[in-house]
Amino acid sequence: MAGSKTVSAHTNSKRELPEQQTSSHIAVRPLYSPADLAGWDYDRDTGYPGEFPFTRGVQATMYRGRLWTMRQYAGMGDAEESNKRYKYLLANGTTGLSVAFDLPTQIGLDSDSPLSTGEVGKVGVAIDSIEDMQRLFDGIDLTVISTSMTINATASILLALYVAVAKRQGRDIRKLSGTVQNDVLKEYIARGTYIYPPQQAMRIITDVFAWTNENVPDWNTISISGYHMREAGSTAVQEVAFTLGNGIAYVDAAIRAGLDVDKFAPRLSFFFNAHSNFLEEVAKFRAARRMWAKIMRDKFKAKTPKSWMLRFHAQTAGSTLTAQQPENNIVRTAIQAMAAVLGGTQSLHTNSFDEALALPTEQSARIALRTQQVIAFESGAPQTVDPLAGSYYVESLTSEIEKRATDYLEKIEAMGGMLKAIERGYVQQEIQNAAYEYQQAVDHEQAIVVGVNRFHVDGEKSVPIQRIDPGLETKQVERVRAVRAKRDPKTCQAAIQAVEDTARTGENLMPRILAAVEANATVGEISDAMRKVYGEYKEAVVI
């Protein structure tokens, strides 16, 4: 295969070229050739799309059979405004909804809690009760659209609210499809919107697995997320390693809870960041699929191919968006979206160019959606499966990412698993170190950010930004208090008490949480019932 005219990747031309690296510090040679695939076995390492180890994609036909789901993440303060945005996106061709919740909702506080002051509706929609959830999806058939909810510590409650609204609509809840993120481990690592200690949080997660498997069988019970770790500064290799490490911890916990791996594993999903180092990102997605297939088949002895598949949603990298020359973000997003598509994503959110400044306007959200549509219908990228397969560079990079991510997983296993590694602060420190190194590179212009540390423009014009009604918080506080005033207090209190009592037992919490939301209990009240039993997690200070 390597004839006399083949240029060796291990020999350089007479002129020495400067050393290049990917974002994960993988050295990039000037030229790649068949010699770089020494030891590479097509059947073992790559195979065919839709077959183990799924390097080339989880479906045999991929986008020739069906395009990825085009989701646009949105939550516009209150339920009515968010509902308008969802209908606008649906009218413009989005094929799945993605809900952003405000911080009080994420950490189990009602809008009238003193701790919620100033945060209601600021980074997403405020949801306190079933009435808010009903307004959020007014006029939208929940059995027709797939909905992703980016919610973790309170995922069980928001899923219950969604199911309760579907029941009020008269829908068959077994026909609901969508995802709750439900990944609390990455909250301890990178985001901080946790409530309960890890062990208790894991119990709630496995309760969701079990209940959903029996009652909402097409629902993805978790979206194991590397996205936020990448936003916190991890490298591509760390994103793969720590995401799969969290996945291993969830599978372990579910098996210990008595669940059959082949019953819950097919509904696991993943959430990755689509970053800017184009070919490294493509290789990252391919490596993650291959690694997970081996983990599920060999470590957990899953029997069915659906249990081996790593299905994932991708979102373009919010941390790469710049307030300077924000129109440049349209180009960044397009590159990142194309990397996700060529990497084989199942669904995709493209960030709007103004998100470094505020929540997206309708115009910027439409441009973000159009970016996906141009890739889908004009680029030709979806016409064949895994078009970059066989590239000497991409295959070499895929194997190198797998090797380095596997090294991380072996270190974590030696520590006693992901929970122990998180408790020791190992994962957090690795990400912090990577973030610091990158910022140093930007500060010294070793990493170029166009429009920030090079290619400046004097006198930049401002762009229109979305503004949230300052009176929204007052209105939302009035709404939640009105719900409490008109509900049956005895029925509601009994339902909340049942959640607390069940939290003290080994019973599944989901039926009790569903009954509580149907009795008009609020997100904060149900969270407080579990706080009484589980307490709140306090991060250890590592000196």
Secondary structure (DSSP) of 62-86: GGGT-PPEEEEEE--SSHHHHHHHH
- pLDDT average, residue stretch 161-177: 97
What pLDDT score was predicted for residue 462? 83
What is the arithmetic mean of pLDDT over 457-463?
Answer: 84
Residue type, 403: K
Q: How far apart are CA 127 and CA 201, in angstroms?
A: 21
Structure confidence at residue 3 as a pLDDT band (50, 70, 90): very low
CA distance from start to end of the chain: 55
Using an 8 Å Cβ cutoff, are 244 and 405 in contact? yes
pLDDT at residue 9 tops 50: no
Of all residues in the chain, the percent with pLDDT exceeding 70 is: 96
Residue 456: pLDDT above 60? yes
pTM (two decimals): 0.93
pLDDT-derived band at 5, boundaries 50, 70, 90: very low
374 inside domain? yes
| Closest to 280 in 3D by CA, of 381, 395, 375 | 395
pLDDT of 219 higher than 90:
yes
At residue 341, the pLDDT reads 98
Q: Is the pLDDT of residue 540 over 80?
A: no
In a domain, 265, yes or no: yes
Beta strand 20-21 pairing with 27-28: antiparallel
Assess whether pLDDT exceeds 90 at residue 469: no
Q: What gap in Å lies between CA 532 and CA 530, rounded to an integer?
A: 5
Q: Say yes or no to pLDDT of 543 above 80.
A: no
Mean pLDDT for the stretch of residues 193-207: 96
The larger pLDDT score, comparing residue 74 to residue 187, is at: 187
Q: What is the rounded average pLDDT for all residues in the chain?
A: 94
What's the average model confidence in pLDDT over 142-147?
95
Averaged pLDDT for residues 371-383: 98
| 409 three-state secondary structure | helix
**Residue 461 burial (C-beta neighbours within 10 Å; 0-12, 13-18, 19+):** exposed
Q: Is the CB of residue 74 less than 8 Å from the CB of residue 89?
A: yes
Would you say 265 and 211 are in contact if contact means Cβ atoms under 8 Å apart? no
Q: What is the predicted pLDDT for the residue at 8?
A: 41
Whether residue 148 lies inside any domain: the answer is: yes
**Residue among 7, 81, 59, 131 at smallest CA distance from 382:** 59
- The CATH number given to whatever domain includes residue 378 is 3.20.20.240
Is a pLDDT exceeding 60 seen at residue 359?
Answer: yes
Q: Where are the beta strands (DSSP E) in 210-342?
A: 219-220, 222-225, 268-274, 312-316
Tell whether 44 is covered by a domain: no
Domain assignment present for 37: no
pLDDT band at 15 (very low <50, low <70, confident <90, very high): low
Neighbours of 429 (CB within 10 A): 11
Domain count within the chain? 1
Condensed to tens digits (0 to 9), the pLDDT of residues 81-115 reads 999 999 999 999 999 999 999 999 999 999 999 99
Residue 494 lies in a domain: no
Rounded Cα distance between 244 and 264, Å, is: 16
| pLDDT score recorded for residue 16 | 59
Boundaries of domain holding 225? 51-443
For 481-513, what is each residue's pLDDT tens digit? 999 999 999 999 999 999 999 999 989 999 999
In a domain, 143, yes or no: yes
Instruction: List Cβ neighbours of 204 (8 Å cut-off, separation of 6 or more).
Output: 155, 156, 196, 509, 530
